[in-house]
Amino acid sequence: LALLDPGREHGLESMLAEWAIFTPDAELQEPDPTRRATDGDIVLKRLDEKPHPLTKVLREQDLPLIAGRIRPAKFDEASAPDSTLGVWQLVFSSDGAWGETDPQRRPVRFDPERDQPGPVCVAAAAERATGIRKGVGGAGGRLVVIGTSEIAANLRLNRAGNRAFMTQCAAWLSDRDRAISLPARIEGEFQVNATAADF
């Protein structure tokens, strides 16, 4: 599971290319006020057209994902064909949004020569079957890439569908697909209060 924030170098480009996933350094701009929460966070409601187990709970319960700063994470259309690999684009922005390559520029506006046009995919999953690829035998595996770490942060984990989606990701990545369709158990909440001196 890779949670990659915009504006930060992650150094995973070559590894992601092996999985046909591309995360350009851009920041999602969402001009539609109906796709914004009252605190300004971006509300992601658009899901994959071909339903995937990872988005099942979001679709069934009509839950969006919520985050403040998000980068694109999508299928790499320039990747070489690979019969052992399947890639799914999972969560998208609205049509009017775009991936801004220079978020410091003012005023912020879409530049078709530089920016990523909407709808922008911000979460993708890949699964590789065991087999021969590029003349090399290899084991299979799964990967989920999300263009923000904020959906898993304390501030936003309990908002909208963030917790449900992260739980789905953990179950799918650990090959517990059957658990994905089960409702979450009631959890106990524990809090540790510590002062600066305690740390």
Judged against a pLDDT cut of 80, whether residue 120 lies above it is answered with yes
Judged against a pLDDT cut of 90, whether residue 94 lies above it is answered with yes
For residue 142, what are its two tokens?
């799964």
Please tell me the distance from the alpha carbon of residue 150 to that of residue 154, in angstroms, as a whole number.
8
Please tell me the distance from the alpha carbon of residue 102 to that of residue 27, in angstroms, as a whole number.
8
Judged against a pLDDT cut of 90, whether residue 4 lies above it is answered with yes
* DSSP structure string for the chain: -EE--TTS----HHHHHHTTEE--S-EEE---GGGB-TTS-EEE-EE-SS--GGGHHHHHTT--EEESS----EE-TTSPP-TTEEEEEEEE--TT-EEES-TTSSS----TTTSEESSPEEEEEEEE-SEEETTEEE--EEEEEES-SGGGSTTTTTSTTHHHHHHHHHHHHTT-HHHHTSPPPP---------TTT-
53-92 pLDDT tens trace: 999 999 999 999 999 999 999 999 999 888 899 999 999 9
Mean per-residue pLDDT of the chain = 88
For residue 91, what are its two tokens?
């969560």
Please tell me the distance from the alpha carbon of residue 142 to that of residue 125, in angstroms, as a whole number.
7
pTM of the model: 0.84
Judged against a pLDDT cut of 70, whether residue 31 lies above it is answered with yes
Judged against a pLDDT cut of 70, whether residue 132 lies above it is answered with no
Which pLDDT does position 118 carry in this prediction?
Answer: 92
CA angle 19, 21, 24 (to 5 degrees): 145
Query: Which residues touch 97 (CB under 8 Å, ≥6 apart)?
Result: 28, 29, 30, 31, 32, 35, 118, 119, 120
Judged against a pLDDT cut of 70, whether residue 189 lies above it is answered with no
Judged against a pLDDT cut of 90, whether residue 148 lies above it is answered with yes
Q: Say if residues 45 and 30 touch (Cβ distance below 8 Å).
A: no
Best CA proximity match to 30, nearest among 16, 46, 41, 14: 41
